[in-house]
Structure 1
């Protein structure tokens, strides 16, 4: 009888302290803040996010909504995709092309807002002494960019605009550093490059811009979140958006201080950085035009064999 009594008392004590069932444990954990892991590359494309981080806006807005910030500086864009695939980050930034490539490969993430647009930061360039004045002058010539990156889309659009087909040029896929070197040697006649290398080559007199993305392609970078975060913690996404808006406002109101903060992270000459920064818009809204542009990008990538399978754009984009 004594043994039974002791067992009953133990059960009561365990229930009171949350040792039986899940309710007690969930209640005590409810007060704990969830951690949101964010990975961002130090580039002008994401200047608003960097200012928001450096000024504490990100941590502040997340804390207001019950979350803790875990910031990850990621050196290279492709590593962001790898970090998502490995389950190492919950939110991050990348170009629209790697976003679609990741989704088609099975990475469980979605687009939650525009990170930046910069049609002038993506351009077709030639050597300064080149006789080329337009895309039409490159018929039969060697033109390079990086395959499966957004430069390929601008090149295709420029070719189409000139009334040509891709078969009318000799397309070569090169990385940005290799493209710059090939252009300098005269191994190629032109190339599509993007910032920061675009401004570097143009400002140093090593290249001349023939055409950029203005009126053709907005050169999107996008904010991504895991499907799990978007489904269960959309308030965290909204908190990041609010912090980014504070970052934009701070850049507008304190341009010199914002530039100083950015140059602490973004390793570029200050003169070139100032030129680049003027090219970018950090408007977050996903407009009807954005949806259509993403649909066009998906169709372009799929028809050119850059995706493993079709991507449902409407399901891929999730509005906060």
Structure 2
């Protein structure tokens, strides 16, 4: 049993006790602001989870996907309002009883394959033998593989170096790599600064971020699950009715100009419902991870949906 599995197993043993201890007290949720999680920032500012739960809410900042999954499995948090699909699938493949409540965001155009300014690189075949950096086992990694496949290539045809998004962006800016896989505000800033966008995720990946809880929450506290979803719906309606104020809140939280937030918003779709296209895209991501040998077993994504399958 590897380290990840041991941690998950220990977490799962603790989860029931943690859930029981919190049953009459405060609810804990993760709070993630980047890349542009406007609903999370608005919800926290307005206190809508506390309003709907009728009890205090603790916001836990965990920006690493595996840490978020571990906290949910351990019962340290009861909900992940916004978490990457890859960490969810890795955890489920390792035995974590997670359930997907809905989509938090879709942003395929925010995922970009970037090259230096005035780069001669343009087509996937141009990357053969080049050094490409980005986070392994993520939507960005999947985007690279799918784009290369259009030229009959695989990731093995490039010199792939696994590193996080900020490190990849910095390496490209310093000229240490040929191509970077970047998303969120760093990708938007670099594209605006003139870096070459070789491909974004539009038409290749869905870029889905998920809202997730556990089987135990669904079984033992369906009322809290419905209150969570009601708070999410109210948040989205408030954003629709008060777009300018929502932009201001996000700008303050991310230390950006409101104009920069407004310019990036069209890249994001925050509607909650899981569509058939979402389900297909998520399954492709899970299948990609399994094919890459990143998961110990395949995952049937539709079996994870809390609501009826689309």
- Quickly name the TM-score band, shorter chain normalised: 0.7 to 0.9
Pick from 40, 48, 53: which aligns with 2:31? 40
Residue 302 and residue 69 in structure 1: after superposition, are their counterparts in 2 closer, same or farther (change >3 A)?
farther
CA distance in 2, matches of 1:313, 1:251: 29
Pick from 162, 180, 187: which aligns with 2:151? 162
- Deviation track 1:4-47 (CA, whole Å, cap 9, x = no partner) reads xxxxxxxxxxxxxxxxxxxxxxxxxxxx9664321121125531
Residue equivalent to 2:139: 150
Report deviation, 1:265: 2.6
Q: Which 10-residue stretch deviates more, 256-265 or 279-288? A: 256-265
Are the aligned partners of 1:263 and 1:270 in contact in 2 as well (CA < 8 Å)?
yes
What SS class does the counterpart of residue 148 from structure 1 fall into? coil
Q: TM-score if structure 2 supplies the norm length?
A: 0.83
Report deviation, 1:288: 1.7
Report deviation, 1:69: 4.4
State yes or no: 1:53 paired with 2:44: yes
State yes or no: 1:276 paired with 2:255: no
Q: Which 10-residue stretch deviates more, 182-191 or 221-230? A: 182-191
Pick from 225, 235, 239: which aligns with 1:237? 225
CA distance in 2, matches of 1:35, 1:102: 25
- Deviation track 1:43-97 (CA, whole Å, cap 9, x = no partner) reads 255311321232233222333xxxx242314151333223223320010121111
Residue equivalent to 1:86: 74
Residue equivalent to 1:192: 181
Aligned 1:17-166 pairs, distance under 5 A: 35-63=26-54, 68-78=55-65, 79-92=67-80, 93-166=82-155
CA distance in 2, matches of 1:45, 1:317: 25
Q: Which 10-residue stretch deviates more, 112-121 or 153-162? A: 153-162
Residue equivalent to 1:259: 247
Q: TM-score if structure 1 supplies the norm length?
A: 0.81
Larger Rg over CA atoms: 1
Gaps of 5+ in 1: 1-31
Are the aligned partners of 2:206 and 2:282 in contact in 1 as well (CA < 8 Å)?
no
Residue equivalent to 1:312: 300
Residue 75 and residue 37 in structure 1: after superposition, are their counterparts in 2 closer, same or farther (change >3 A)?
closer
What's the Cα RMSD here?
A: 2.2
Residue 170 and residue 154 in structure 1: after superposition, are their counterparts in 2 closer, same or farther (change >3 A)?
same
Residue 289 and residue 70 in structure 1: after superposition, are their counterparts in 2 closer, same or farther (change >3 A)?
same
Residue equivalent to 1:21: none
Report deviation, 1:171: 1.7
CA distance in 2, matches of 1:239, 1:44: 26
Residue 153 and residue 312 in structure 1: after superposition, are their counterparts in 2 closer, same or farther (change >3 A)?
same
Are the aligned partners of 2:68 and 2:83 in contact in 1 as well (CA < 8 Å)?
yes
Residue equivalent to 2:190: 201
CA distance in 2, matches of 1:265, 1:75: 16
Pick from 226, 236, 247: which aligns with 1:248? 236
Are the aligned partners of 1:112 and 1:318 in contact in 2 as well (CA < 8 Å)?
yes
What SS class does the counterpart of residue 75 from structure 2 fall into? coil
Pick from 290, 294, 297: which aligns with 1:302? 290
Residue equivalent to 2:275: 287
